[in-house]
């Protein structure tokens, strides 16, 4: 995937269960590259040269990427420079699975 530096939103499919129960395998997420990043935002980030989808936690001036599924580890990142976009929408197969995060 190319770098997410443009202003256009990007849609990707969720793979795996690391963000369940909020985001299920197969859901489509919309990523806003220029979205406002804040504590608790769902973000698209770079970690160890790979893109990752997690929830941002900021605690005592430290930055963490937290999965919603406790089977996965929380990752410490250097700061907001790791964030490449904010998740603004989720869509699934059913209308009730559609949700906005703005």
Classified as helix, coil or strand, 96 is helix
pTM tops 0.85: yes
Tens digit of each residue's pLDDT (9 = 90 or more) over 32-81: 999 999 999 999 999 999 999 999 999 999 999 999 999 999 999 999 99
Model confidence at 102: pLDDT above 90: no
Token digits for 43?
Answer: 């973000």
Handedness of CA 30, 10, 18, 51 (dihedral sign): negative
Classified as helix, coil or strand, 80 is helix
CB 41 within 8 A of CB 34: no
The CATH architecture annotation of domain 10-100 reads Ribbon (2.10)
Predicted pLDDT at 93: 85
């Amino acid at each position: 995937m190319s770098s997410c530096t443009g202003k256009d939103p990007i849609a990707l499919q969720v793979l795996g269960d690391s963000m369940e129960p909020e985001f299920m395998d197969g859901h489509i997420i919309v990523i806003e590259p220029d979205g406002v990043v804040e504590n608790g935002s769902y973000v698209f980030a770079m970690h160890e040269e790979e893109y990752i989808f997690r929830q941002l936690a900021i605690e005592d001036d430290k930055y963490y990427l937290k999965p919603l599924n406790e089977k996965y580890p929380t990752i410490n990142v250097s700061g907001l420079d790791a964030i490449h976009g904010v998740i603004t929408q989720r869509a699934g197969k059913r209308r009730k699975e559609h949700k906005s995060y703005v």
